[in-house]
Amino acid sequence: IDSNVSEHVDKEAIIDSDNSTSYTNLKILVKGHRPKVIKKEDVGKVLPWVHIAISNAKRMFLNTFHDIQPEYLQSYLNEFCYMFNRRYFGEKKFDRLLIAGISYKNEFRYNIK
């Protein structure tokens, strides 16, 4: 996290985040860091769509794929993101599918052991 923040975030930025221990060095890298502890009962109220998307992804993985191997997790997440964003394509779904098919590099053959 530290290397990404130092490369991509302005040093004058103020970052609001949760109180994860992963963010302890942020106060050194940026002008301000305001960590916030979120009560367990309020978790669903803070960024509710993030929690809905995570719940949908978990449900899809459990119902559709059943047993996911760690080395294929990114491919499953990519598929979920595609399916999640597909609803915004409207009448351009075929065009988007064509573009995705042409530009996608098949990585499964490199992952199979």
Question: Does residue 43 fall inside a structural domain?
Answer: no
Both structure tokens of 50: 């993030």
Give the residue among 35, 9, 38 at the shortest CA–CA distance from 22. 35
Pair 30, 53 in one domain = no
pLDDT by residue (tens digit) across 68-108? 888 888 888 988 888 888 777 777 778 877 877 777 666 65
Question: Does residue 24 fall inside a structural domain?
Answer: yes
Question: Does residue 14 fall inside a structural domain?
Answer: yes
Pair 107, 52 in one domain = yes
Pair 58, 30 in one domain = no
What are the backbone angles phi and psi of residue 34, rounded to the nearest 5°? Answer: -115, 85
Question: Does residue 16 fall inside a structural domain?
Answer: yes
Pair 71, 99 in one domain = yes
Measured distance between the N- and C-terminal CA atoms of the chain, rounded to whole angstroms? 30
Question: Does residue 30 fall inside a structural domain?
Answer: yes
Range of the domain at 19: 2-37
d(CA 79, CA 37): 32
Q: Identify the pLDDT of residue 107.
A: 61
The number of domains in the chain is 2
d(CA 10, CA 71): 33
Pair 75, 102 in one domain = yes
Pair 58, 11 in one domain = no
Lowest mean pLDDT among 3-12, 32-41, 56-65, 100-109: 100-109
